[in-house]
Each structure stands twice: as structure tokens, then as C-alpha cells.
Chain A
């Protein structure tokens, strides 16, 4: 318990430090609107990619439908804050978004999670498209035109804090009995079942959890960017998050952070290159899959506990 406390406090310290750093930079004008935009995008992408990593990396379910759940969160906020343009209204809308996304994940997951890898990918992609097409055709979502002038109820600080919160919650989940059960499903479904683990239930839990975090990302996106349209949440959007997860290393949260930051920076630097940027990304994706499929970091995880462990040991998930 004591060791855990020291470890947890260290992480808390790091988070507060980084917050203070960014705050100082904002105050001193080092960070302009342009850079702030980049940081917020990185933060939202971290939230989205962490949730997807839980589904793909830790529970081994290849889901290509993340954008659908993000859309639910975004539209919940977009619709509700038009009548409740207050911080409370925002958080309420985010809560609603999370609940709806989780219900949608249950509806999608229960039939599809028993499918094998590549079929599951297509089925989840199809499910996300169904969500997008529905949004595209409903009146309440303003159809294809989307929603504009969503009240700007989110600052970089909100995004930062929520990013820290969702990461903490996800990491805590992974380093617990639940996380281990989910990883057992990834490692060997048949063996997991034989040890009494109801694999469908645990896959669903990871899937629904991931969907919830995607909704958080969507809500933040809507409130910060202030404009959303169904076209923002298409297959390309799901794949963009997948690229972050794969690049960083499927199964490594640290990798997700690194990849989100690297890609976010690259995106901004290469902003003026337009489509050429996408060509570079696709080439990079292919090359990484051929030469280093484990991604930049594999499933290596940064940990303060590392200081004081012998070389050969593997991080036991406690």
C-alpha cells in the first residue's frame, strides 16, 4: 500500500507539473492559438486512442468503429449545449453522450464480438457507418449539414484534466483483476474460458469502456472546435485513431501518448502539405507493419516501478 501511494503520488506530481508548464507557457504567450489547437487535438486524440488501445491492444478485439462512438458524444454535446450553454450543461451532455455510447456499444458488441478478427473489423466498421448514416438523416442532428456555433464551453485545461482522468481510469482498469481477465481473453480465448472466464462478457466490458471514453473525446471535440458534421466521423476518422494506436504500439499506453504527440506535431508541421501528408502517413503505416509491426514501443510500458526491478522481470499487472 505504501509503495503504491508513493508511485501514485509521483504520477500525480508529473501531471500537475505538466499542467503548470503549459499554463505558464499560455500566460507568457509562448503558446499561441495555433499551438494550443495542436495541444488540444493531441489531448483529445490521446483520450480516443487510449480507449481504442484498450479494445484492440488489451482485449485483442479488432474494432474499426471507434468514430461511431465519438460521434455520439459529439452530437450529444452539440445538441444539448444549444439549450444549456453552461459548464454544467456541458458536463451533463458529456454524461448523456457516454451513456448513449455505452448502450450503442452493447447493442453493437453483443452480436459482433463473437466474430473472428478480420470479420469483427468489418462488422464494427459497418456499425459505425450505420451510426453515421443515421446521424446524417435525423432532423435533430441537422442531417448532413451538421451543427455550428456550438457553445465554446471547453478550454485546453478541461481537455488536459479529462485526458489525465481517462488515462488514470484506463490504466487502473488494466492493472486490476478486470484488466487481467481482459488480457487473458486476448492471449488465449479457449484457455480463458477453461479457467472460468466468460470471454463474451469481458470483451463486452472492454468494448463498452472504450466506447465511453470515445464519447468523452467526441464531446470535447464538439465543444472545442464548435462545428461538427457526420462526415467528420467516417471510416477515415476511425482509421486515423487506429494509426495512432498501431504506431505507438498495440498494448502500450505509453506508446499511445508518444504516437499521439508525434503525429499531432507532424500534422501541424505538415499542415500545408495537405494530401501529401496523408500519403506519407499511409506509406509509414505500411512500412511499420512490415518492419516493426509491434509499433514504436511494442508493448513496453513506462513505469516508475521500473527503478528497482531486475532486468528479466516483466511488469506484473498490479
Chain B
């Protein structure tokens, strides 16, 4: 029972990261029907930003994370403006290939300028382990869980209670109708990218703290897993992405716990294929059919 509880804590901590990433995927897909391949790389940029501002400018954790969020939001908006906006009316495949191109570009640019070596993320918060009910939980894990939940709550509030949030929801349902009622499509889409990328940036800093190592290719696999999480939750659904993220985190930790570490990534891919076949709309999603 103890190990189970322990794995639960580990799984939820990891899951928080995936949830934050999945939110970005789901929001962007919901609004422009694009799988933003480069999303995982924005997360990587967040981690690197955190690394440099902590080491170079001696920021504390809060400033590092907040500034990373702002930086990533900017990058996200720029990417949307230059790479995706011109393709808004192109076939989805073209946009997907472009997203792949952006992802490649970010990864290789970072590798070129900063080398492919892993770096150690600065230990800006000293680890303290608490013992509760016989389980170990570190302050870092609490921080991750807490921050992620706070951000998710903030996101929920923005989407449900603000004007921009309403605009985002409207554009997700019908972009043309939204424009007809006076919603500025470009602003709304940019805002969505900014929000999603900010979440990814926060996740990047958090994972740097948690696992201590960062490298230019760190965004690829978590990115795909976060996408799987978004699909499980129902792509386009914000609560779905959160739930999906936690589920994937728990799944991955569980697979490691039973000794199949080598296959932990493969299991996630299998889950993706199964979900796409059995429940393509995900847990919270809606099914749409093409009109003949």
C-alpha cells in the first residue's frame, strides 16, 4: 500500500507537467484544428530560459517561472504569426508539416547554439522531503502539484469568466460566426497561443527543478505524451486535458513501478492507438461527422 501511495504521488507530480503541456495542445487544436508539433519545444525553451535566468541573473524560482511564461508566450505568438497564420486556410496536412518544420527548427537552433549536451538545472530550491503517513513527498513535488493546479484554475477562470475566454470558446465552435459577431479572430488565436505557450513554459521550469537535467531534445517525447493526454481527455476540452495529463503521468509511473521501464514510452503510444480506435472523442470530447 505504501508503494502504491508513493507511486500515486510520483505519478500525479509527473502528470501535472503533462497536464500543463496538454492544455496548450488542446486549446490550440480546439481553435485552429492544428496539432502544434512545436509545443513540446516551447516547453524546452521554458526550461532553458529558466536555466539561464537563474544561473546568469540569479532570479529566484518565482521570477524564473513567471519570466519563462512571458517569454514562451511571446515565442508562441511569434510562431503563430509567422508560420501558422499564413496557412490558416490551407489543408491541415500542410499546416502539420509546417509545425514539424518549426519543431525541427527550434530543436536544431538550440542544439547549434547550446550544444546537444544535457545540462544540470540549477537547484534554486533546496529539496526537503516530508514524511506523511509513511510516504515521502518532496517540497518540489508539492510545488509542482500546487503550481499546476493553480495555473489550471487560473486558466479555467480566464476561459469561463473573461471576454477573451468567451471569444476563444466561440472561435472553437465556429470561426466564421464568431467573426460575424465582431470577434477579432487574429487576436483571439494569438491569445490562445500565448496562454498555451505560457503553460508550457511553466511546465519547462518545473520539470527542470524536478528532474534536474535539460537538453535541446527534451521536448519531443513529453510533447507527444502530452498530446496523447489531450486526446484521452478529449481534444479541445480543457478539463479533459488536465485529467488526461494526470492519467498519463500515473500510467507512466505505474509502468515503471512494475519493472517495464524500458517500455514506458511504448505503452503510452499503445494507449494512444487504442483510444483513437475505441473512444476517439476522448473522455470529455464531442464527436463530429462529415455532412454528405
- Is A283 positioned at the interface, with any CB of B under 8 Å from its CB? yes
Complex-state Cα separation, A130 to B270, whole angstroms: 8
Residue of B nearest to A285 (CB): B101
Question: Judging by beta carbons under 8 Å apart, are B104 and A133 in contact?
Answer: no
- Is B143 positioned at the interface, with any CB of A under 8 Å from its CB? no
- Is A163 positioned at the interface, with any CB of B under 8 Å from its CB? no
Q: Which of B51-59, B105-113, B194-202 lies at the binding interface? A: B105-113
Question: Judging by beta carbons under 8 Å apart, are A290 and B98 in contact?
Answer: yes
Contacts A112-B273, A118-B92, A125-B224 given: A283-B98 contact, CB under 8 Å?
no
Shortest beta-carbon distance, A36 to chain B, in Å? 28
Question: Judging by beta carbons under 8 Å apart, are A278 and B273 in contact?
Answer: no
Q: Which of B9-17, B206-214, B260-268 lies at the binding interface? A: B260-268
Contacts A62-B93, A235-B220, A289-B87 given: A122-B272 contact, CB under 8 Å?
yes
In-complex Cβ contact of B276 among A115, A235, A242, A289 (8 A) = A115
Q: Point out the residues of chain B lying under 8 angstroms from A127, CB to CB.
A: 269, 273
- Is B83 positioned at the interface, with any CB of A under 8 Å from its CB? yes
Q: Point out the residues of chain B lying under 8 angstroms from A126, CB to CB.
A: 224, 228, 269-270, 272-273
Residue of A nearest to B268 (CB): A126
Complex-state Cα separation, A293 to B97, whole angstroms: 10
Complex-state Cα separation, A133 to B277, whole angstroms: 22
Question: Judging by beta carbons under 8 Å apart, are A281 and B104 in contact?
Answer: yes
- Per the CB 8 Å criterion, the residue count for chain B at the interface is 42
Question: Judging by beta carbons under 8 Å apart, are B92 and A290 in contact?
Answer: no
Question: Judging by beta carbons under 8 Å apart, are B262 and A289 in contact?
Answer: no
Complex-state Cα separation, A126 to B270, whole angstroms: 8
- Is A11 positioned at the interface, with any CB of B under 8 Å from its CB? no
- Is B126 positioned at the interface, with any CB of A under 8 Å from its CB? no
Question: Judging by beta carbons under 8 Å apart, are B220 and A111 in contact?
Answer: no
> Interface residues of A toward B: which range?
35 or more
Question: Judging by beta carbons under 8 Å apart, are B102 and A286 in contact?
Answer: yes
- Is B90 positioned at the interface, with any CB of A under 8 Å from its CB? yes
Question: Judging by beta carbons under 8 Å apart, are B35 and A122 in contact?
Answer: yes
- Is A270 positioned at the interface, with any CB of B under 8 Å from its CB? no
Question: Judging by beta carbons under 8 Å apart, are B97 and A111 in contact?
Answer: no
Residue of B nearest to A275 (CB): B112
- Is B94 positioned at the interface, with any CB of A under 8 Å from its CB? yes
Residue-wise, chain A 267-301 has the 8 Å CB interface mask toward B (1 for contact) of 00000001110110111011001100100000000
Contacts A235-B220, A286-B102 given: A278-B269 contact, CB under 8 Å?
no
Residue of B nearest to A293 (CB): B94
Q: Within residues 104 to 142 of chain B, which ones have a CB less than 8 A from any CB in chain A?
A: 104-105, 108-109, 111-112
- Is B100 positioned at the interface, with any CB of A under 8 Å from its CB? yes
Q: Point out the residues of chain A lying under 8 angstroms from B262, CB to CB.
A: 133, 136-137
Q: Point out the residues of chain B lying under 8 angstroms from A137, CB to CB.
A: 262-263
- Is B96 positioned at the interface, with any CB of A under 8 Å from its CB? yes
Complex-state Cα separation, A91 to B276, whole angstroms: 38
- Is B86 positioned at the interface, with any CB of A under 8 Å from its CB? yes
- Is B1 positioned at the interface, with any CB of A under 8 Å from its CB? no
Complex-state Cα separation, A285 to B37, whole angstroms: 14
Q: Within residues 60 to 106 of chain A, which ones have a CB less than 8 A from any CB in chain B?
A: 62
Question: Judging by beta carbons under 8 Å apart, are A278 and B93 in contact?
Answer: no
Q: Point out the residues of chain A lying under 8 angstroms from B102, CB to CB.
A: 282, 286
Question: Judging by beta carbons under 8 Å apart, are B276 and A119 in contact?
Answer: yes
Question: Judging by beta carbons under 8 Å apart, are A282 and B108 in contact?
Answer: yes
- Is B227 positioned at the interface, with any CB of A under 8 Å from its CB? yes
Complex-state Cα separation, A80 to B108, whole angstroms: 36
- Is A121 positioned at the interface, with any CB of B under 8 Å from its CB? yes
Question: Judging by beta carbons under 8 Å apart, are B277 and A111 in contact?
Answer: yes
Q: Point out the residues of chain B lying under 8 angstroms from A246, CB to CB.
A: 97
Q: Point out the residues of chain A lying under 8 angstroms from B231, CB to CB.
A: 119
Q: Point out the residues of chain A lying under 8 angstroms from B96, CB to CB.
A: 62, 117-118, 121
Complex-state Cα separation, A136 to B269, whole angstroms: 15
Complex-state Cα separation, A285 to B102, whole angstroms: 9
Given contacts A122-B35, A279-B108, A289-B101, 4 further A-B contacts (CB under 8 A): A117-B96, A137-B263, A282-B108, A286-B98
13 residue pairs of the A-B complex, CB under 8 angstroms, read A111-B273, A112-B273, A117-B96, A119-B276, A121-B96, A122-B227, A123-B272, A127-B273, A129-B269, A130-B270, A282-B108, A289-B94, A293-B94
Query: What are the nearest 10 A-B pairs in CB distance?
Result: A126-B269, A285-B101, A282-B105, A282-B104, A278-B108, A286-B101, A275-B112, A289-B98, A133-B266, A293-B94
